[in-house]
């Protein structure tokens, strides 16, 4: 869908009944600011369920607080009228596992800076900025590899799930495990040093993509 992701667009990973899938979180300014001192607004579309809507509100709160610490002069997320969309609008989507993806998309838009390219991520986000574990790690990892992603960000608490995957799935992937939103931010916006976990073996064709009509349903760990 994107050869190069612009500011405000981030690739996430989803779990479906048919397997893993990638999805994009898109954010843009909905209408120009009036210049008056009033709080901005947020609209979201994409056939989203209640849990995902809650996750969007949490992500906005985390992003606002984080940006206030990183760059107090940047009030973009407070003043602006924003629109968040998850493409394939006819497909229902729900669950909390896009939390870190949504928050990073907000930060990217506020900074007017694209994140590091060819990165996909999954992780629930708590109100205090903790990255919580999610389900479907195997399926999501396969989905990332299937579309050519070479770097994935996963919750620290899912490290064992990832390490249990067979080599033919993890081969060629650079993986980062995050426990806080700050961890995710540093990975996305800091030039990458060659210190991450990378597996080197001949890649296999894992063409097990679900039909395009399959629901993109994120899933958290029970």
Angstrom distance (rounded) from CA 13 to CA 136: 9
Which domains are delineated in the chain? 9-189 (3.30.230.10)
**pLDDT of 195 higher than 70:** no
Angstrom distance (rounded) from CA 222 to CA 213: 26
**pLDDT of 38 higher than 80:** no
Angstrom distance (rounded) from CA 37 to CA 33: 9
Question: How many CA atoms lie within 13 Å of 137's alpha carbon, on the beta-carbon side?
Answer: 24
Which pLDDT belongs to residue 212?
35
Cα dihedral 201, 204, 208, 209, rounded to 10, equals 70
What is the pTM (predicted TM-score) of this model?
0.85
Please state, for a pLDDT cut of 70, what percent of the chain lies above it.
83
Among all chains, which residue has been given the structure tokens 């590091």?
116
DSSP 160-178: HHHHTS-HHHHTT-EEEEE
- Of the candidates 56, 59, 61, the one whose C-alpha atom is nearest the C-alpha of residue 78 is 61
The confidence band for 35, taking pLDDT boundaries of 50, 70 and 90, is low
Angstrom distance (rounded) from CA 77 to CA 97: 22
Q: Which residue has the higher pLDDT, 202 or 183?
A: 183
Instruction: Read off the pLDDT of each residue in 72-77 and give the average, rounded to a whole number.
Output: 96
DSSP 12-31: EEEEETTEEEEEEEEEEEEE
Angstrom distance (rounded) from CA 8 to CA 180: 20
**pLDDT of 197 higher than 60:** no
Catalytic residues: 97, 140
For the chain, the maximum distance between any two Cα atoms, rounded to a whole number of angstroms, is 57
Which pLDDT belongs to residue 196?
45
């Amino acid at each position: 869908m994107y050869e190069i992701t612009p500011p405000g667009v981030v690739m996430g990973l989803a779990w479906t009944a048919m397997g893993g899938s990638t999805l994009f979180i898109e954010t843009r300014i909905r209408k120009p600011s009036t210049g008056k001192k009033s709080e901005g607004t947020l609209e979201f579309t994409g056939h989203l369920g209640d849990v995902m809507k809650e996750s969007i509100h949490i992500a906005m709160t985390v992003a606002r607080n984080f940006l206030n610490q990183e760059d107090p002069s940047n009030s973009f997320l407070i003043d602006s009228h924003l629109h968040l969309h998850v493409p394939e609008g006819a497909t229902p989507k729900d669950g909390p596992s896009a939390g870190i993806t949504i928050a990073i998309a907000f930060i990217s838009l506020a900074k007017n800076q694209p994140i590091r390219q060819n990165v996909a991520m999954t992780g629930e986000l708590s109100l205090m900025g903790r990255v919580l574990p999610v389900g479907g790690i195997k399926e999501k990892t396969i989905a990332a590899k299937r579309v050519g992603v070479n770097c994935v960000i996963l919750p620290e608490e899912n490290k064992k799930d990832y390490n249990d995957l067979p080599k033919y799935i993890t081969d060629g992937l650079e993986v980062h495990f995050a426990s806080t939103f700050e961890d995710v931010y540093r990975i996305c916006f800091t030039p990458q040093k060659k210190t991450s976990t990378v597996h080197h073996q001949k890649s296999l064709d894992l063409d097990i993509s679900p039909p395009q009509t399959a629901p993109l349903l994120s899933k958290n760990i029970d």
